[in-house]
Structure 1
Amino acid sequence: MRIAFLMAPVGVEQIELTEPWQAVKNAGGEPVLVSTKPGRIQAFRHLDRADTFPVDEVVAEVSAEAFDGLVLPGGLANPDALRLDARAVSFVRDTVERGRPVAAICHAPWTLVEADVVRGRTLTSWPSLRTDVRNAGGTWVDERVHVCEQGPNTLVTSRRPADLKAFCDAFLAAFARQAA
């Protein structure tokens, strides 16, 4: 199972990258860091700089077809920057349209909103995104993790770092179902 982790060069919440990344590896999958620019991405612990991580692939040079699923880590600046990158938004939309499962935590559903893929779906997120989700035609719920199965793919969303265990368990189960 080859899973894309899509991030902007700066602003991802480190734990929202590292815990799901390790969960994919522990499940025997291949996590791939995809970003809008080559080099390294700068992670954060809230507002403080944390570690950097090497980019494996650049979104402009890959296809959603090359992956079995997509994880969108949060952080405040990361999804906001992705929303402004047309290729990143297109990659997310293409992943959904291809029926691949998508997992998004915290502020990451902003990218889903920008890709116009939440209409008619139910999801959760950091609470401040509820109006954005509703305005995009989705239904927002306040749950640790929410799995929305609609059509050929699954959307797994979660609220915050404290929900990471439930988030990882849910998206790994969804990704395994899709692979089977």
Structure 2
Amino acid sequence: MAAKNLNGRKIAILATNGFEQSELFDPKRLLEEAGATVDVISPGGEKQIKAWNKTDWGKSIDVDVQLDQADAGGYDALVLPGGVINPDKLRLEKGAIALIKAFGDSGKPIAAICHGPWTLIDAGLVKGKQVTSWPSLQTDLENAGAKWSDKQVVHDGQLITSRKPDDIPAFTNELIEALAA
């Protein structure tokens, strides 16, 4: 991974209970190592949210900002971790979709991995875009007007998408590169 200085950059990670553990913890760590400040944003008023770790519940992480207090204007980018549970719950949260739309309107980078691109569909951000995701989302993304491909990372405009935990280094590096540009 290229060493970039993201000092002064502030990144939002939007998640709720059931996020895929590695898809939040690893990008958060890599972004912080690059100098960024990273806030975990979540709906529901909880002080902590719990990860899904492959086949069972995993670690918990502190929530830094409640969703109803989050403002896209205070951040330089948004990260949307996957797991099946997390984005499925977030799709039903009007505030979560509104925050994703606000990032979309701002033109700031939005990085979504695994099942995270589900929320991009609900935010109306994939039509005409080249994306990737966990393979089971291919039809959903194509039905929403996206052009899907099976690649480690796809960067189209403000959207950065990846398929799975193995892609996290490339996924995070692509976001770091976009923020450093």
**Stretches of 4+ aligned residues off by more than 6 angstroms:** none
Counterpart of 1:18?
25
| Residue 172 of structure 2 is aligned to residue 165 of structure 1 | no
| Residue 41 of structure 2 is aligned to residue 30 of structure 1 | no
Q: What CA distance in whole angstroms lies between the structure 2 residues aligned with 1:166 and 1:83?
A: 26
Q: What CA distance in whole angstroms lies between the structure 1 residues aligned with 2:180 and 2:102?
A: 20
Where structure 1 has 5 or more consecutive residues not aligned to the other structure, the ranges are none
Q: What CA distance in whole angstroms lies between the structure 2 residues aligned with 1:46 and 1:36?
A: 23
Give deviations 1:32-66, integer Å, cap 9, x for gaps: 00001231101011131111111000111121111
Equivalent position SS for 1:70: strand
Q: What CA distance in whole angstroms lies between the structure 1 residues aligned with 2:29 and 2:50?
A: 18
1:106: Cα distance to partner?
A: 0.2
Q: What CA distance in whole angstroms lies between the structure 2 residues aligned with 1:30 and 1:91?
A: 19
Question: Equivalent residues in 2 for 1:56-67 (5 A)?
Answer: 56-67=64-75
- Which of these residues, 58, 62, 84, is aligned with residue 54 of structure 1? 62
Equivalent position SS for 2:18: strand
Give deviations 1:69-111, integer Å, cap 9, x for gaps: 0000111100000000000001001101111101000000000
Counterpart of 1:75?
83
Number of residue equivalences: 172
> Could you tell which deviates more after superposition, 44-53 or 102-111?
44-53
**Aligned CA-pair RMSD:** 0.8
- Which of these residues, 62, 82, 94, is aligned with residue 102 of structure 2? 94
- Which of these residues, 134, 153, 159, is aligned with residue 155 of structure 1? 159
Give deviations 1:102-133, integer Å, cap 9, x for gaps: 10000000000111110111100000001111
Where structure 2 has 5 or more consecutive residues not aligned to the other structure, the ranges are 1-8
| Residue 11 of structure 2 is aligned to residue 3 of structure 1 | yes
Q: What CA distance in whole angstroms lies between the structure 2 residues aligned with 1:145 and 1:51?
A: 26
Q: What CA distance in whole angstroms lies between the structure 1 residues aligned with 2:109 and 2:86?
A: 20
1:141: Cα distance to partner?
A: 0.6
Normalising to structure 1: TM-score of the pair?
A: 0.93
